[in-house]
């Protein structure tokens, strides 16, 4: 059985308007919070556990319950995020055109080339481990499907290990196998299900 519960049904009894922010405000605050780590569970509480302890039904009751358990958490988070925002302001004021050019070159030239080298090195190493099966990088059309290359007849996608833990990934990968890698001090640590390549 499949069914849809609309947001309007879920949030119909929440008596608070969604705050409206100017352009860039929300992503900037989100970024500052990521660096400040101001809303980590050890600072503001583990919400999944707290909400289970809550016996009320209204937003105002939840706010009262939360603030009773964590009376200083929000004000502390505000201070920590404000500190990061001030650091951002100082950093932004010192960004020159030369800084921006260096960043763009690193992104467009260095990281692109390094990424291709990673992919080729990984494909080659796996090919060798399988007795020298053919391998190649993906074509532009194949890349649009989330495929980075082929090992034998199998389409593979090569992703950093951090990719696996990300939520709500918009990319649709049509590869047979995902190969994960992690950069270490000594090189690249690669992990994949070799049984799929031998099947």
Quick check: 2 pLDDT over 70?
no
Q: Are strands 149-151 and 187-191 parallel, antiparallel or unpaired?
A: unpaired
**pTM reported for the whole predicted model:** 0.64
* % of the chain exceeding 70 in pLDDT: 87
**Rounded-to-10 torsion of CA 100, 103, 105, 110:** 180
Query: Could you state, in order of their start, the residue ranges of all structural domains in the chain?
Result: 7-94, 98-197
122 close to 86: Cβ distance less than 8 angstroms = no
Token couple for 9:
């049904």
Q: What is the pLDDT of residues 45-60, one digit of tens each?
A: 999 899 999 998 888 8
pLDDT tens profile 180-196: 888 887 788 888 877 77
Q: Is the pLDDT of residue 12 over 80?
A: no
79 or 191: whose pLDDT is higher? 79
């Amino acid at each position: 059985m499949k069914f849809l519960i609309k947001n309007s049904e879920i949030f119909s009894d929440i008596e608070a308007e969604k705050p409206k922010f100017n352009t860039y405000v929300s992503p900037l605050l989100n970024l500052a919070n990521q660096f400040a780590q101001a809303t980590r569970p050890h600072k503001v509480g583990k919400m999944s556990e707290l909400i289970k302890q809550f016996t009320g039904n209204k937003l105002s009751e939840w706010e009262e319950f939360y603030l009773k358990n964590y009376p200083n958490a929000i004000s502390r988070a505000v201070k920590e995020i404000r500190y990061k925002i001030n650091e951002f302001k100082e950093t932004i004021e010192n960004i020159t055109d030369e800084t921006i050019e260096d960043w763009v070159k690193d992104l467009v030239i260095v990281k692109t080339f390094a990424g291709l080298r990673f992919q080729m090195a990984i494909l080659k190493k796996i090919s060798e481990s399988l007795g020298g099966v053919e391998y190649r990088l993906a074509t532009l059309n194949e890349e649009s499907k989330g495929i980075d290359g082929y090992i034998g007849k199998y389409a593979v996608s090569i992703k950093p290990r951090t990719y696996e833990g990300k939520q709500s990934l918009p990319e649709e990968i049509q590869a047979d196998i995902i190969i994960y890698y992690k950069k270490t001090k000594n090189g690249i640590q690669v992990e994949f299900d070799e049984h799929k390549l031998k099947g």
